[in-house]
Amino acid sequence: MSHTSPRHSRRTFLSRSAAVLAVGASGAAGALPEAASAKDRSGEVRPFRVDFPERDLAELRQRIRATRWPDRETVPDQSQGVQLATMQELAAYWASGYDWRRIEARLNALPQFLTRIDGLDIHFIHVRSRHPDALPMILTHGWPGSVLEFLKVIGPLTDPTAHGGRPEDAFHLVIPSIPGYGFSERPRTTGWGPDRIARAWAVLMERLGYRHYVSQGGDWGAVISDRMAVQRPAGLLGIHVNFPATVPPDVARSLACGDPAPAGLSPDERAAYDSLATFYRTGSGYSAMMVTRPQTVGYGLSDSPVGLAAWMYDKFAAWTYSGGHPERVLTRDAMLDDITLYWLTGTAVSSARLYWENNANNFNAVSVSIPAAVSVFPGEIYQAPLSWTRRAYHDLIYFHRAASGGHFAAWEVPDIFSDELRAAFRSLRQSPR
């Protein structure tokens, strides 16, 4: 890629306060300057502000208007993917009515920071509660999500008394961007999989002065929280996941082979098996591509904003509790905020590489022995049965089936999600912090 490419410009001008991030991203071989290495060792935490130049937004709108559209689908539904009319309507609004500066201002109203961990600049939002006994918690997003998923739960979780909760329900929140996602630096070498990210998160929480804390996540955030639980860093009290990894080995083998469901499954287990079998058959192609060919996928996603939007919207439609119509639970602006974040930061391919790094089936049962809580949302890819969950999470302190919400629970149903976390961690609040 030439040094005058629009994508290079997008990364360089993220923020005037992110000079080290810009240098690390634009170096010819991705090498870090000595000054950045010193910052890594010192554990410096620097303020961060989002500030994209107007020319990046103008170039985005121009690219949207210049889209070369495919033929209309030959079916009357979404079985071939996102329908042409849906994408054309979304693109028309994106090019003429959407305002990125609105979400940029919302982000900049929050305390945002960068800190260097294991050679990468990590971006995070850090909001401390006014309640002195608040429980520190690190919240991790997934794909195709971002820190934007959690904006609506920051208030309810840090200031519960203003949102129907009690002072003893309060959390201090740390919300990082996964390396290669959003405003965190893109890895320039291999090795940044969930295990390494989990270790980095433990460093981050220690660096911020939290002696004890909990971890929460869905999608990749759940995978990373599970890995943290297995690693058992000294300060981790427990985890909560809303994308639990529970599928037993014998069931996983049958699913992998496309076999009928094993005999003896309970009704909940059979329902979970059927949901997963359908997902593998009709909904997992995106993962197969990113696990095996993230670079190939990245060319189209990095060059066409509408291509990127369709790639992400497909999952918003499939994974929300919306019957395939995500506008019922997420606003059009909210979805475009997330899509635009990926576009402006140029992270379509770097985010996809996390699938290549992991190359594992994240439904398959983990073995977690520290206190763990699980919330099951009805629009999730599969509804984990209690029987499977108990076998994977050996110290299960909370299990609940929520009334609404899907894969993006914090984004879709922030009130329910906040209530789930309050209940999930209530028994751990007596631990010293």
pLDDT at 360: 86
Please report, in angstroms and rounded to a whole number, the separation of the first and last CA atoms in the chain.
48
Residue that the structure tokens 């996602």 belong to: 181
- For residues 336-350, give the mean pLDDT: 98
Q: Which phi and psi angles does 360 have, rounded to 5°?
A: -140, 160
Q: How far is CA 383 from the centre of its chain?
A: 19
**What is the predicted pLDDT for the residue at 164?**
87
What integer pLDDT is reported at residue 23 of this predicted model?
25
CA–CA distances in Å: residue 125 to residues 48, 239, 241: 9, 19, 20
Amino acid identity at 91? A
8 among known catalytic residues: no
Q: Please compute the mean of the pLDDT values over residues 348-367 and round it to a whole number.
A: 96
- Can you say whether the dihedral through the CA atoms of 44, 185, 231, 175 is positive or negative? positive
Question: 215-274, pLDDT tens digit by residue?
Answer: 999 999 999 999 999 999 999 999 999 999 999 999 999 999 999 999 999 999 999 999
Q: Identify whether the C-beta of residue 115 lies closer than 8 Å to the C-beta of residue 207.
A: yes
As given in the structure block, the two tokens for residue 312 are: 């992400």
- Tell me the fold of 6-246+283-428: Rossmann fold (3.40.50)
Annotated catalytic residue within 342, 355, 382, 393: 355
Whether 115 shows a pLDDT value over 50: the answer reads yes
State the pLDDT at residue 33: 30
Conformation bin of residue 324: beta by default, left when phi > 0, alpha when psi is -120 to 50: left
- pLDDT tens-digit readout, 150-203: 999 999 999 999 998 899 999 999 999 999 999 999 999 999 999 999 999 999
**Catalytic status, residue 99:** no
Query: Rounded to the nearest 10 degrees, how much is the dihedral formed by the CA atoms of 180, 185, 189, 191?
Result: -60
Confidence at 41, pLDDT banded by 50, 70, 90: low
- Report CA torsion sign: 383, 146, 365, 236: negative
**What does DSSP say about strands 213-217 and 171-176: parallel, antiparallel, or unpaired?**
unpaired
Q: Where, residue-wise, is CATH 3.40.50.1820 in the chain?
A: 6-246+283-428
Place of tokens 């969950």: 389
Residue 70's pLDDT is 97
CA angle 23, 28, 31 (to 5 degrees): 60
Q: Exactly one of 159, 219, 314, 419 is catalytic; name it.
A: 219
Residue 15 has pLDDT above 50, yes or no: no
- Cβ atoms of residues 345 and 11 within 8 Å: yes
Encode pLDDT of 395-410 as tens digits: 999 999 999 999 999 9
pLDDT above 60: residue 39:
no
Q: Which residue in 171, 105, 143 sits closest to 342, CA to CA?
A: 143
51 tagged catalytic: no
